[in-house]
A and B are shown apart, each in its own frame.
Chain A
Amino acid sequence: MITREQQYYDPPVNAVAALGRGVIAACQGTGQALLMLLGALAYVPQAFTPRNRANVVTQLYTMGIKSLGVVTVVGLFTGMILAVQMGLGLELVKQERYVSTLVCNGILREMSPFMTGLILAASVGSAIAAQLGTMTVSEEIAALDVMGVSPLRYLMMPRLVGLVVMAPLLTIYMDVLGLLGGAIVAATMLGVAPETYYDGLFEFTYNKDFYVGLVKAVVFALIIVSVSCYQGFRTQEGAVGVGRATRRSVIVSFLLILTLGYFVTRLWYS
Chain B
Amino acid sequence: MIRFEHVTKRFGDKLVLDDVSCEIQAGETFVIVGLSGAGKSVSIRHMVRLLTPEQGRVWVGDDCISEATGRPLERILARFGVLFQGAALLQWLNVEDNVCLPLRQKTRLPDAEIRQRAADMLRLVGLEGVGDRMPADISGGMRKRVGLARAIVTQPEIILYDEPTSGLDPMISRQIDLLIDDLRRRLGVTSVVVTHDLYSALQIGSRVAMLHEGRFVVCAPPEEFIASPHPVVRNFLRAQGIVTLQDVHQAFAK
Determine if chain A interacts with chain B: yes
Interface residues, chain A, with chain B CB atoms under 8 Å away? 1, 3, 5-6, 8, 51, 135, 138-140, 142-143, 145-149, 154
A140 to B135, CA, bound (A): 13
Residue numbers of B with Cβ under 8 A of A are 11-12, 48-52, 73-74, 77-78, 80, 82, 84-86, 88-91, 101-102, 104-106, 154
CB atoms of B12 and A5 under 8 A apart? no
The CA-CA distance from A143 to B80 in the complex, in Å, is 11
B49 touches A147 (CB 8 A): no
Q: Is the Cβ of A138 less than 8 Å from the Cβ of B50?
A: no
Q: Is A140 a contact of B105 with CB atoms below 8 Å?
A: no
Q: A1-B49, A51-B104, A154-B105 are in contact. Are A146 and B86 (CB under 8 A)?
A: no
Which residues of the other chain, B, contact A51 by a CB distance below 8 angstroms?
A: 104-105
**A154: B residues at CB distance < 8 A:** 105
Bound complex: CA A147 to CA B159 (Å): 12
Q: Which of B80, B82, B85, B106 contacts A149 (CB 8 A)?
A: B106
A3 B105 Cβ-Cβ under 8 A: no
Bound: A149/B88 CA distance, A: 14
* CA gap between A143 and B52 in the complex, in Å: 17
What are the 8 tightest A-B residue pairs by CB atom distance, in nearest-first order? A8-B12, A143-B88, A139-B88, A149-B105, A147-B102, A139-B84, A146-B82, A140-B88
Nearest CB on A from B67, distance (A): 13
Q: How far is the CA of A87 from the CA of B17 in the complex (A)?
A: 71
Cβ contact within 8 Å between A6 and B11: yes
Bound CA–CA A51/B102 (angstroms): 11
Partner among A5, A138, A148 whose Cβ is within 8 Å of the Cβ of B88: A138
Q: Are B106 and A5 in contact (CB under 8 A)?
A: no
